């Protein structure tokens, strides 16, 4: 089984990255301006792919790609309006501690997204710096607290989650599965899926502020070398990340360019 998934974050006015989601330069790297995101959607719509909810029957069909949006920034409503024009469904992963705070979506907005057919899921409660380093109790609390808050807002079971910061481990997935989630999205750039207990784990391809629309299209369709390039870059960085964080940061700046 395989499924291509794109990982977006916020969509903001040009030059105003702090408008939605987490502030700062690192987060801004993942935020597209509205015109650019609109161009992405036009390119994706031209592909002939379907962009359904992972919970829909059609999501298992061929020629499918899933669109996800991390962090829970207030731009979720703007994103959903743009997706609706193309009949696409979004998956919005919410940092539940931030709901209703400056730059983040409110409870009423999340309920509206859910009622419009988009998927509202968990992105942990507080978005810890490295969720995989938490002890069992703290790790479980992140997902249980987040699930409970969303279920209170939506009035329905919440079945979908994404790992903050890309800090996926098998242990994280086991805890997410135990909290009752059926789908967990990681930042591993792969179309391969696997299951951890009753939870299906899906990788995602990252989209950055300067990712060209044609490259997002290539990630969705699998044509060209974009998928392989992300996979190679991720797997090159992975051992470095584990080996030494400062060296990883240096290598990232000096050799790879900031977003390769």
We find the least distance from the C-beta atom of residue 123 to Zn ion, in angstroms, to be 6
Applying CB under 5 A, which of residues 7, 19, 51, 71 lies at the interface with Zn ion? 71
Which CB sits closer to Zn ion, 33 or 71?
A: 71
Instruction: Look up residue 112 and give its two tokens.
Output: 């509206």
Indicate which single residue of 10, 70, 109, 188 sits in contact with Zn ion (rule: CB under 5 A): 70
Helices 213-221 & 226-243, crossing angle to 10 degrees?
Answer: 90
d(CA 221, CA 147): 32
CB 92 within 8 A of CB 116: no
Q: How far is CA 232 from CA 61, 152, 187, 190, in A?
A: 27, 41, 13, 11
Q: Cβ closer to Zn ion: 47 or 97?
A: 97
Interface segment toward Zn ion; rule CB under 5 A; list 69-77, 135-143, 194-202, 206-214:
69-77
**Smaller CB distance to Zn ion: residue 187 or 190?**
187
Q: What is the x/- site pattern for Zn ion, positions 124-163, by CB under 5 A? A: ----------------------------------------
Query: What's the Cα-to-Cα distance from 214 to each of 45, 69, 123, 140, rounded to whole Å?
Result: 12, 19, 28, 39
Does residue 10 interact with Zn ion by CB under 5 A?
Answer: no
77 vs 122, beta carbon nearer Zn ion: 122
CA distance 229 to 52: 26
CB of 51 to Zn ion, least distance (A): 21
Measured between alpha carbons, how far is 121 from 66 in angstroms, rounded to an integer? 14
Looking at residues 156 to 185 of the shown chain, list those that interact with Zn ion (rule: CB under 5 A): 164
Contact 53, 41 (CB under 8 A): no
CB of 72 vs Zn ion, minimal distance in Å: 9
Nearer to Zn ion, 70 or 188 (CB): 70
CB-nearer residue toward Zn ion: 64 or 146: 146
Residues 199-258 that bind Zn ion (CB under 5 A): none
List CB contacts of 37: < 8 A, sequence separation 6 or more: 8, 11, 79, 82
Kindly list the residues in this chain that would bind Zn ion in the complex (CB under 5 A): 70-71, 164
């Amino acid at each position: 089984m395989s499924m291509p998934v794109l990982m977006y974050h916020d969509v903001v006015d040009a030059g105003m990255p702090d408008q939605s989601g987490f502030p700062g330069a690192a987060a801004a790297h993942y935020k597209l301006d509205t015109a650019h995101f609109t161009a992405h959607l036009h390119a994706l719509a031209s592909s002939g792919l379907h962009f359904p909810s992972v919970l829909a029957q059609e999501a298992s069909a061929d020629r499918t790609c899933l669109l996800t949006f991390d962090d829970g920034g207030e731009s979720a409503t703007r994103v959903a309006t743009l997706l609706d024009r193309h009949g696409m469904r979004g998956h919005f992963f919410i940092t539940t501690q931030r709901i209703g705070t400056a730059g983040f979506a409110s409870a009423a907005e999340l309920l509206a997204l859910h009622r419009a057919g988009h998927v509202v899921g968990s992105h942990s409660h507080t978005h810890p710096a490295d969720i995989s380093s938490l002890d069992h109790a703290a790790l479980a609390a992140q997902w249980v607290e987040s699930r409970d808050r969303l279920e209170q807002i939506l009035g329905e079971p919440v079945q979908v989650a994404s790992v903050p910061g890309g800090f996926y481990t098998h242990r994280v997935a086991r805890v997410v599965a135990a909290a009752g989630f059926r789908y967990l999205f990681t930042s591993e750039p792969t179309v391969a899926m696997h299951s951890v207990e009753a939870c299906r784990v899906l990788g995602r391809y990252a989209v950055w502020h300067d990712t060209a629309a044609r490259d997002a299209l290539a990630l969705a369709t699998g044509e060209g070398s974009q998928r392989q390039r992300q996979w190679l870059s991720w797997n090159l960085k992975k051992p470095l990340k584990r080996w030494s964080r400062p060296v990883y940061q240096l290598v990232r700046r000096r050799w790879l360019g900031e977003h390769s």
